[in-house]
Amino acid sequence: MNKKDKWIYQNFAGLIGIPDEYQRHEIDKLMAKIAIIALYTLLALVYLSIFLDIERAFLSPFTIGGVLLIIILFCRVSMNQFSADPVEIEVHDQYTYHQLLKETRNKRIIFLVIALIYMPVTATIVAPILAGNPLNFSYLFNISTYLPFLIWAIFTVSKDSRVKLIKKEEDADID
């Protein structure tokens, strides 16, 4: 374990010694959840900033910096070893398999509902109010407005391919 990782584990979890494998796993899991929440918050703020800039007809440094930061993050994750290995959840019984599929679908639907509420509310209400412009609801009645939402909904609610049902092979040929 390098010095930087040891410092993170000790200061984050309050550990005095080197953490064991279980503690490292739990700390890494929590830090990954925090990183995902931080990334979604950054995306939401950049989205708000973009629509605020559209309302003000001004390109702010926060929008430029936020977009550049997102591009750098995605390039770094895709090119370096920071990308996660493909995760497969192997399940041996049918009930657990369907429960996991149901839980992941529900989490995706909750995220989709939050995102689909945030995006139009930000574009039609929050950004015009912050910019001091009148509210404009006319584009909410165009079908082309909802096309990206429909595509996003299809990909979000689809079956989770990480969950795999493993059927046990029974050896009936025992001599």
In the predicted structure, residue 33 carries a pLDDT above the cut 50: yes
Contact 24, 9 (CB under 8 A): yes
What residue ranges do the domains of the chain occupy?
A: 1-84, 86-175
Question: Model confidence over 35-77: pLDDT tens digits?
Answer: 888 888 888 888 888 888 888 888 888 888 888 888 888 877 7
Phi, psi of 11 (to 5 degrees): -80, -30
Contact 55, 133 (CB under 8 A): yes
Question: Model confidence over 106-148: pLDDT tens digits?
Answer: 888 888 888 878 888 888 888 888 888 888 787 777 777 677 7
Q: Please compute, for residue 111, the number of CA atoms within 13 A of its CA located in the half-sphere on the CB side.
A: 16
Q: Where are the beta strands (DSSP E) in 112-173?
A: 163-165
Closest CA to 110 of 145, 148, 156: 156
Contact 98, 89 (CB under 8 A): no
Q: What whole-number distance in Å separates Cα of residue 115 and Cα of residue 49?
A: 16
Note the pTM of the prediction, 2 decimals: 0.65
